[in-house]
Amino acid sequence: MIKALIWDVDGTLSETEETHRAAFNQAFAEARLDWSWDQETYRRLLQVTGGKERMARFAADREMAIETHAVAEIHKLKTAIYGRMIENGSASLRPGVREVIETARQRGFRNAIATTTSRPNIDALIVSTLGRPADQIFDAIAAGDEVAAKKPAPDVYLLALRRLGLSASDCIAIEDSMPGLAAARAAGLRVLVTPSIYTDGDDFGAADWMISDLTAPLPDPLTTILARA
């Protein structure tokens, strides 16, 4: 019996990756760092989970030395820029997301978040799109800065399950990326994938279900638990 849905954030709740990319590029410019990530570069970097980790990978690929504290400072600047962009309406929920979250809540099912992104990014997006703080909508929130290893490691999903007090068999994860799929599967979860604009060409054969977005016909058991009267 499914008791909860566990949501990824970037690319799953909202097509936020373009906003992240724009925020990174603005932060690089403000920090006088001669970097600029186009869509092709960012698609490749998304295989690395975590903003600071992407910056480190980009520097390593260019054989460029960058201090850990500099990465942290630039990422802090980027997070502030991203938050302002979200507050100004730069991102909206993907089709069907609001309806599934609200219907699940109305029918007594729980919603949780398990994401690589940081808590400030979560809060900014949820307030902007759903009009309330994240902890008023989601029963548990597990963020990337709270675990030792980010996706594709299962840590953030295991943390979400602990905070829900549920087993993996009680939940379904909703994801959009290969690292996210791998993390959820490693935690023992069944996974529904809704590919995003940056992952729509990836091979999600390991997913239990894949649909274009949450307005498409939902697979069982979601159809049953979210069935409208």
In tens digits, the chain (229 residues) has pLDDT values of 899 999 999 999 999 999 999 999 999 999 999 999 999 999 999 999 999 999 999 999 999 999 999 999 999 999 999 999 999 999 999 999 999 999 999 999 999 999 999 899 999 999 999 999 999 999 999 999 899 999 999 999 999 999 999 999 999 999 999 999 999 999 999 999 999 999 999 999 999 999 999 998 999 888 887 875 3
From the list 8, 139, 155, 176, the catalytic residue is 8
Q: Where are the beta strands (DSSP E) in the chain?
A: 4-7, 110-114, 140-142, 171-175, 190-193, 209-210
Structure tokens at 59: 């520097």
Q: Could you tell me if 41 and 57 are in contact, meaning their C-beta atoms sit under 8 angstroms apart?
A: no
Domains of the chain: 4-15+92-225 (3.40.50.1000), 17-87 (1.10.150.240)
Active site residue 135: no
Specify whether the CB–CB gap between 78 and 51 falls below 8 A.
Answer: yes
Angle (CA) 167 149 77, round 5°: 120
Residue 224's pLDDT is what? 82
Sign of CA dihedral 39, 42, 46, 47: positive
Whether the bond between 133 and the residue before it is cis, its omega within 30 degrees of 0, is no
Among 10, 139, 155, 176, the active-site one is 10
Can you give the pLDDT at residue 66?
A: 92
Of 222, 9, 17, 8, the residue nearest 129 (C-alpha): 9
Residue partners of 65: CB distance under 8 A and separation at least 6: 59
Tokens of 10: 């970037």
Closest CA to 116 of 73, 161, 177: 177
Identify the pLDDT of residue 135: 96
User: Annotated catalytic, 8?
Assistant: yes
For the beta carbon of residue 27, count every other beta carbon within 10 angstroms: 23
If residue 26 lies in a helix (H) or strand (E), which one and from where to where? Answer: helix 17-30
**Alpha carbon of 158 to those of 25, 169, 229: distances in Å?**
33, 12, 33
